Structure 1
């Protein structure tokens, strides 16, 4: 049941764990692009953190060089989807989509901030997944306040952490490697 009356909030967390949390209210001014205009009703649906997925069938690794430019994230998502399908057939579609989102976010960061070749490496072992993107920039990423007004980013590292990942950066002699590691067993 959703209470759609403006100014009303319904919290369904006390019900089943997988039931979405639904809030209704009015759109604040300065809301993100695509939202209702200020003062108009809006509904936000969030779901609880995903349940642990069964472990992958076997340990595996995929490392691919990525094209430079805007086609890199889609190339990385396609390669990741194929890898996860082969090495982890019991993975739910929802969790697979979570991992594809993280891949897209990390690769987009490399394209936007490193401006050069990058490599995607996926590793599954013992119920864990490591998503790693290596680039040639030595500038370390830092979480920042998301820019919801102009859509200029700031959400990728937060999204990875919100989905259960441990985000860390490994300094390399020729750049860096940003990891999002998930213990999923």
Structure 2
């Protein structure tokens, strides 16, 4: 289990997630460690850009899955939007998160914020 209350950036969260996945015994399938890093990166990007500039991350695992929780200060749930293929202004993250995970749940709180839980099969 890793918990990180963090003002740091996206690269730090991705590094923590990758190290966590690599430390698991038995390790996840070959591509799953990078999948964990990508999902964390996208969730943290959303938290920093749209959720108040800070995030709290919790990583855990069981025999079947890696569990990622990223909390932020905004009560607004993530919203799906059409990806911008022209100007590159985003819209890819939520689609990517949903396609790389077996489930994603948004829970209000604690306080005024929210937590996004994602499950990645091992």
Which interval holds the TM-score relative to the shorter structure? 0.7 to 0.9
The equivalences for 1:33-182 within 5 A come to 61-68=1-8, 72-172=9-109, 173-182=111-120
Relative contact order: is structure 1 or structure 2 higher (C-alpha 8 Å, sep ≥ 6)? 2
Computing the radius of gyration over CA atoms, which structure comes out larger, 1 or 2? 1
Runs of 4+ in structure 1 off by over 6 angstroms are none
Count of residue pairs brought into register by the alignment: 121
Instruction: Say whether the 8 Å CA contact 1:160–1:166 is kept in structure 2.
Output: no
CA distance in 1, matches of 2:35, 2:51: 24
CA–CA separation in structure 1 for the residues paired with 2:91 and 2:74: 18
Flag the 1:88–1:149 CA change in 2: closer, same or farther, 3 A.
farther
Please state how far the C-alpha of 1:82 moved relative to its aligned partner. Answer: 1.4
* 2-structure distance, mates of 1:160, 1:88: 24
Normalising by structure 2, we get a TM-score of: 0.88
Structure 1: 5+ residue runs without aligned partners?
Answer: 1-60
In structure 2, list runs of 5 or more residues that go unmatched: none
CA distance in 1, matches of 2:92, 2:102: 14
Q: Is the 8 A contact 1:122 1:129 kept in 2?
A: yes
Q: Which is richer in helix?
A: 2
**3-state DSSP of counterpart to 1:170:** strand
Contact 1:122/1:131 (<8 A) preserved: yes
